[in-house]
Each structure stands twice: as structure tokens, then as C-alpha cells.
Chains A and B, each alone.
Chain A
Amino acid sequence: MSQFLVKEGVKNQIRKGEKLVTTHCCYCGMQCGMHIRVNEKTNKVVGVEPRYDWVLTRGKMCPKGVTAYQTVDHPDRIKRPLIKKNGKFVESSWEEALDLIERKFKDLQSNYGKDSLSVYGGVSMTNEKCYLVGKYARVGLGTRYLDYNGRYCMSSAAGGFNKTLGMDRGSTLPWTELEHTDCFFMAGSNTAECHPTSIQWFWRAKDKGAKIIVADPRETATARVADVHLDLLPGTDSALANGIMHLLIKHDYVDNEYVQERCNNFAELKEMTAKFTPEYTSKITGITVEKIVKAAHIFGKSPRSVVMFARGAEQQTAGVDNVSLYTSMALLRGQIGKFASGVATFTGQGNGQGGREHGQKSDLLPGYRKLTDPKAVEYISGVWGINPEDMPKPGVSAYEMFDLMLNKTIRGLHVICSNPVVSSPNINHVYKAMETLDFLVVSDFFLSETAELADVVLPATTWAEDEGTTTNIEGRVIHIRKVVEPLGESKPDWQIMSMIAERMGKGKHFQYNEPREIFDELRLASKGGKADYFGVTYEKIDEQDGVFWPAPAEDHPGSPSVFKEKFATEDGRANLAVCDWKGPAEVKSKDYPLWLTTGRVVFHYLSGNQTRRVGFLMEQCPEPFVEMHPELASQYQVENGENVKLVTARGDMIVPVKITKAIRKDVLFVPYHWGKQQAVNQLTSPALDPTSRMPEFKVCAVKLEKLTK
């Protein structure tokens, strides 16, 4: 059992017969600090207590965080392995389940080759587990087909940052500095709902006079109080960013010294942005000229600004372009690498940052090493104790894996910590692909929509039943403590992967007694890489409220701010983005005359597999809805609460209407946390960004049909 501590001088209510275990929330990238209340007699989780001393969130939590503990002892938990027999799940022993997996996996690999198996990971788990997923696929199963749900979440941000700054750390500054920022430019982020505890920093800055500019088709809680709300059309971010940069150059807001000294491509950028006059930009984006001009002046005049973006800008076929262009806005103003200024993406998943750094991606190895780099392959092979020739080649991205299932290249799949039949775009296609599989194993602690399709379901533990580290929205590595022992026969994912690897004859590479040993291996594996964790230890995390990577040496305190002197590109200079506006893959037409965009609500997390089982959250938001402007509702003669049918080229759904003026008149919005008939991802577009292979969840053309009574 891990150490329990409550800081000195901080008053917390500790009830009789209970103890508090200090940890973090399991949900989004904010990774809010919290104490979990444990009954000392029964050793059961009984509640939550705010962690006032956690530096980033100061005791604050959103409703998901407050109720997170309720998933630990939940009646829906899977307590024993399940094997599907005659279409029904039957409880079995671990022995029987592992026997079956071993037999099937070995059969498939001997008949169809090593690459007939595949692994689909997730990043809502610790660094230790995420790291091990990569090793499990490549060493344990020896397959090249490995990818993870972060492909839908962070890959465009990663692509854009790597292109412009040479390194992908979600935030170039620690967020505790945000209260000193003078201007926030937020694009495609409903941060009040998706990262509620970040709001304290924005409001605190606003109290001091900071300006907020929000680009979003909806008037979100942040857009409502923004100094300028740029109500752009979905899929037009690159035009907006180019338009703002056009004005920055025109009105001499460019930090010439900084750009000259630290950036490439300024002349090319100037040339590209020349045509993006406010009028031209306005025509593409649908934002009025006055607002664009006002935003550019506010942003240009602010001495310290942070450009921030999230899935709204990233989940597009131009996601990488959008990220690069928004990042370039910060570069033109000379902001990156300075106090209280810089650029940041809002990490959606709990460990979206750490989970994408250590080799769960089809083409990456731990420490952000490239699988195509022979030196990286040699180094990691050394750490893993394998022959470099045995290292599998790069595979394909998450959504492309389903195509390979359909054409029978992939015949077996192990899904770990993800629910792709809800969270993928165009899920009718994904369902078909999953049903084509010869053998599907799912590790989860609730029976998700994906797990329902499985041949074997392995009971994993919740976040409170295992120790480890995650890397939060800022790039700060933090400590998740084990609160209670695993429920029933459930096991942490690292044990499950090690057991299967053992069965596949690779047990000697997976000899771990506790997560700390995996972390020590990860530290070594990441050493010398871009995401260098070598200097991060559990002790250091506890001592100094987390450690920011890179921390390249054992005595290195970590790097709260990055790019202070130079960028991580080869020549140390940032590459300004020179990208034209391309437009989304699907545009509205006569048949599909409206825009559809998707997103989250504050009460649910990702595919909703956890939050849809929590009483309070379901009371607040039991079902999806379609948000539309009253003017649009009037044209289609639909009323608030009335069910309507939404149809795209890929599927349809019936969903109740929610009328509000806080959305563009030509855009519909549906949250994506539900599965099957309630899933908006039946409708979404699977068009991929050419670089990041991220699907265009945020833009598609849709038809609205009034149902006959």
C-alpha cells in the first residue's frame, strides 16, 4: 500500500475511522488533486475530500471528479474474466481465459503471421501501463499493428508542435503562471466544460484585466465572457489564424527581433498570409470583419499572451495545419519560452500527454523516439533485451486498423483501456470491422460497448487500485497512489499484459513486481529522447509537487518552461507554418445542407463508459441532444425537446432538440459520449489528416429531418 500523506498546515476534514489517500482524478488532463476517503476497517473507498494544497487545482473539482470514486466499488464492475460461449458471457478463471487467449493468439500467428494480431491502447492510464502497451505489442506479441485512442485526441497537436517547435509538450509553460497572462487566444476549446478546473486561472487573470479571445462556433461559457467571440464556421481555423497573422504583420505587432533570431520561414509566411485580408478571412470563416480586426489588435497589443487550442481545431483534416498556424501566431508575437506566455493544447485524456510519449503510437518508441530511426531501434532493443532485427516496423493509425480488420490482414485484437466502437468516427464501419475479427480480447473494468463484442473480457482495475504516474496537461509528471486493493479478481493492466506475454513465451521481458520497476525501465528507455523522464522519480514527484519533463539527469529538477533559449528542431529555430486554408473534407450540399460538429459535456468523459454509470452525472445529462439556434429550429418547425432525425452520408440518429442562441445559425452540435443508436459517431466523418492521421470529428455535412408525428 502506498504512502498516505496530507500536507502540514492544510486543514482537511478527516472523519473517525477513515483515512485520506492523496492522489489525482482519473479523468481529464487537468489531473486535479484529490484525497480519496477510505474506511480503515473495511478498507473500502467511501468518498472524496478536496486536496487544497495541490498547486494546480487547489482543491477544486468538476462533477466528474467529485463522483470519480464511485466507479471503484461500482456494482457494474467486472470481477472475473468473461468468456463468450454461445453468444453469452460466462465467468471463468484467469487460467481458463489465459489458456484460450494463448491458444487463439498462437493459432492466428502461426497460420497468418505475427502481424495478424494487433493492440489498441488508450491513454486514460498511467505512464507505466502506456509504456508497457508498446512493449507488449512489439515484444510480447511481436506485431507491428499497434495504435491507441490518443490518435483521436492528441495526434494533430503532436504533429503541429513537432513541425513548428520540434518537440511536443502540450504546454510550453506551467499553468500556475497563467494568472499573469494578459491575453488568451483560445480556439476550439470548450474549456469550461472539458477542463472546468482550469477556469480558475482564466478568471483570476481576467480579474487582473486579462483579455480573452475565443474562437468557437458555439458561445461557450468562456466565449460568453470573452472580449471577442470569433464565431467561426467549423473547419475554418487555418483561415482565421492566417487572417490574424495578416493583421499582426500589417499593424506591426510582430516581434521582429525574436522572429529574426529564432524563427524560419517568415518571408514565406508573409507571402502566404498576404491574401488573408480581413474581408477574405471573413468570407471563409463567417466571422464579421470587425471582430477579426478587434481580436488581432487585442492579441497584438498584449505584452504576454498564450495561444491555446483543443480538439475543435485539431480534429480536422487540417488539424496539423491549424495547430502549426496557431502556434505561429504565438511565435510572431515572440511569446514562446517567456514568462506567462506561450502556447498550449488542452489535453483531453487523463494521461494524454504521457501516454503519447512512450511508444503506444504506431510509429513511435519510448521517449518520443521514432521507429524509423535505426539508432532509436537499437537503443530501445537494448533496453528491452531483444534483437534490433526483431523490432516490428511501423504499423498504421487507429482508424486505418479497422480497414485492415475488414480485409483480414488483422485477425486478432486486444483492446486495452479504450472503447473504439463509441469513440471512433463512422462507427457503423468500425462495428463491421470488429465483427470481422477472428478473436477479440478487451481489458476493461466495465462492460463497454466494445467489450460486449469481445470473445474474452479481462477484468482490469480502476485508477484507484494501482500505483503509477501520469503526465498532466502542463507536462508535469505526477503520482497516482494506490488507494485500495483490486476488487474481486481484477488485475492492473500491466499484470494482464505481462501474463499474456508470459504465455506467448516472452515472460523474461516482463518480470515486474510493482509499477515502480516499470517506471524505472521507462526512465531508462526515455533517457536521451525528447521526452526525457530519466530524472523523474516517485520521490522527486512527491517532494516538489510533480516534475516537468524533460528531466535528463538524476539531479535535474525538471523543466517547467521549455524553449527558453532554443527550440527542439535540428537548427534550434522554430518553423513558422506556411499553410493555405484547405477546407474540410466534406462540405455542405443540397442533400446535406447544415454543418454538424461534436464535443463533450461537463458531465461525461470520452465514450461515457465510466460516467454513464454514475448516478449524479446521469441525472444531469442522461442522453445526447442536438443544440440548434432558434432561427434554424423555426425554419424546420421543431420545438425544444422534440426528437429529430440527423442524417449524414454514413448514418443517422434520432435525438432530442435543445434550442439556444448560443450557437451559430448554420451549425448543429451533438455530444459524443453515448454508444449504439445514441452515438453521434454514427454520423461523423472518417476523413484523416494527412500527417497526424486524426479523423475529422469536428466537421461534417448533415441533414436535419423533422419526424412525422
Chain B
Amino acid sequence: MNKIMYLEFERCIGCRACQAACRECGDHDAKERNYVEYVDFTESRQTFPMLCMQCKDPACARVCPANAIQITDEGVVLSAMEEKCIGCRNCTFGCPFGIPKFDFEKNKMYKCDMCYDRTRDDIAPMCASVCPSDAIRFIDFDEMQQLRRRRTQMNLVEGKKPQEGNKWDYVPEFFGVYTDSQS
């Protein structure tokens, strides 16, 4: 798997197609594992999607006392293995992004696995496939680098800077996967 999940929060239109689509993935048991939130609905309609970051050294796996959270060769952090998970919910507390969810009926955790049954064959995960605004993309590394460079470049073009009361400021900076200086 040579693809990258690339998020651009300000493209998000809050339609939650990614969540509906997440339920459609084969291994997902009709439960969504991603999030779409309003930054602050009272202020603006800006929403943002939130997915598992697939950390290199994932806190969820590290705090699991049962070693139930496996990481694939490609680096995808999977949901807890059913036979190993003891339902302690350590992972849901450990994750700095609040990603893992807990199924109280089955007494086990579940989380985004990047639609592993699709992505291992280089087919885009369901969320990135359907996202109407390209807020979530599943793209090549080179394309990702190009997009990042373009963000900075576009800031040089007249009119691309946020205007009309700096509405883009509602996207908190610490969520930014991109690096540019919007001053």
C-alpha cells in the first residue's frame, strides 16, 4: 500500500457521507468508525472529519493489556481482535485523538482500519471514495507532496487568502495536517 490518507478540513461540507459509507465497508459491522464534528455550530457551519491517524507507535495498542490491537505490515492499526479483547476500554482512553469506539453489547472496541480489505488492494477506503468535497482523499505520496506545496503557493495568488472575516480561522490549527502560514 503506497497511498496516503490526506485530509483538508476546510473542504468539508458536513454531509457525513464518510460516516454513512464507513458503515458499508465489509468488515465494519454497519458501525461507523470516523467522526464529523462542527467546530462550533453557533459560530459557523464549518465541520471537519476526523479519522484514525494510524500512529506509528499507537497509544491504543501500547496501553492494551491483552495485546489485542494488531498493526499490519503496511502500518494499519486494526480493531481489537475479538478473541483477545477483554473489554477494558484502555484504548479508548489512551488514544490522544479519541478515535476508538466501544461496543457495549459485544464488549469490545472497534476503530478505523482504513477499510483494510480495500486498501490492501490499493482500492480507496469507503470514506475517501465517497467524500463529495475531497476533504478526505486517498492519494499517492507524490500527489500529497504536490498538494502541500500548492497550498502555500496558492496563498501567493491574490484572493486566495481567507477573507470576509477570516472564517477559515475556525479550523483549529492543531488539527492541521498541512503546514502553511495563513497570516
Asked whether, in the complex, the Cβ of B133 is within 8 Å of the Cβ of A616, the reply is: no
A229 to B164, CA, bound (A): 8
Asked whether, in the complex, the Cβ of A65 is within 8 Å of the Cβ of B45, the reply is: no
Give the interface of A toward B (CB within 8 A): 11-13, 15, 47-48, 50, 52, 59-63, 65-67, 192-193, 196-200, 203-204, 207, 209, 211, 219-221, 224-229, 602-603, 616-617, 620, 630, 640, 658-662
Asked whether, in the complex, the Cβ of B15 is within 8 Å of the Cβ of A196, the reply is: yes
- Residues from 4 to 62 in B contacting A, C-beta threshold 8 Å: 10-11, 13-17, 19-21, 23-24, 26, 41-46
Q: List 8 A-B contacts (CB under 8 A).
A: A48-B24, A61-B21, A62-B15, A66-B20, A196-B133, A200-B133, A221-B45, A660-B43
CB distance from B153 to the nearest CB of A (A): 11
Q: Is B117 an interface residue (CB 8 A)?
A: yes
CB distance from B156 to the nearest CB of A (A): 11
Q: Is B90 an interface residue (CB 8 A)?
A: no
B167 contacts across to A, CB distance below 8 A: 224-225
A204 to B163, CA, bound (A): 19
CB distance from B11 to the nearest CB of A (A): 6
Asked whether, in the complex, the Cβ of B17 is within 8 Å of the Cβ of A660, the reply is: no
- Which of A12, A209, A662 makes the CB contact (< 8 A) with B45? A662
Asked whether, in the complex, the Cβ of B13 is within 8 Å of the Cβ of A63, the reply is: no
CB distance from B75 to the nearest CB of A (A): 21
Asked whether, in the complex, the Cβ of B132 is within 8 Å of the Cβ of A66, the reply is: no
Asked whether, in the complex, the Cβ of B129 is within 8 Å of the Cβ of A660, the reply is: no
Asked whether, in the complex, the Cβ of A630 is within 8 Å of the Cβ of B121, the reply is: no
Asked whether, in the complex, the Cβ of B129 is within 8 Å of the Cβ of A52, the reply is: yes
Give the interface of B toward A (CB within 8 A): 10-11, 13-17, 19-21, 23-24, 26, 41-46, 117-118, 121-124, 126, 129-134, 150, 154, 157, 159-160, 163-164, 167-168
A62 contacts across to B, CB distance below 8 A: 15, 17, 130, 132
Q: Across the A-B interface, give the 7 residue pairs with the lowest CB-CB distance, nearest first.
A: A192-B13, A63-B20, A66-B20, A196-B132, A50-B129, A221-B13, A197-B132
Asked whether, in the complex, the Cβ of A219 is within 8 Å of the Cβ of B20, the reply is: no
A196 to B133, CA, bound (A): 8
- 7 further A-B contacts with Cβ under 8 Å, apart from A50-B126, A225-B168, A229-B164, are A13-B117, A60-B17, A196-B15, A199-B133, A228-B164, A620-B16, A661-B42
A224 contacts across to B, CB distance below 8 A: 44-46, 167
Asked whether, in the complex, the Cβ of A199 is within 8 Å of the Cβ of B10, the reply is: no
Asked whether, in the complex, the Cβ of A66 is within 8 Å of the Cβ of B160, the reply is: no
Question: With A12-B123, A203-B11, A224-B167 known to touch, is A59 a contact of B129 (CB < 8 Å)?
Answer: yes
A220 contacts across to B, CB distance below 8 A: 45
CB distance from A363 to the nearest CB of B (A): 37
B15 contacts across to A, CB distance below 8 A: 62-63, 192-193, 196, 602
Asked whether, in the complex, the Cβ of B130 is within 8 Å of the Cβ of A50, the reply is: yes
CB distance from B150 to the nearest CB of A (A): 8
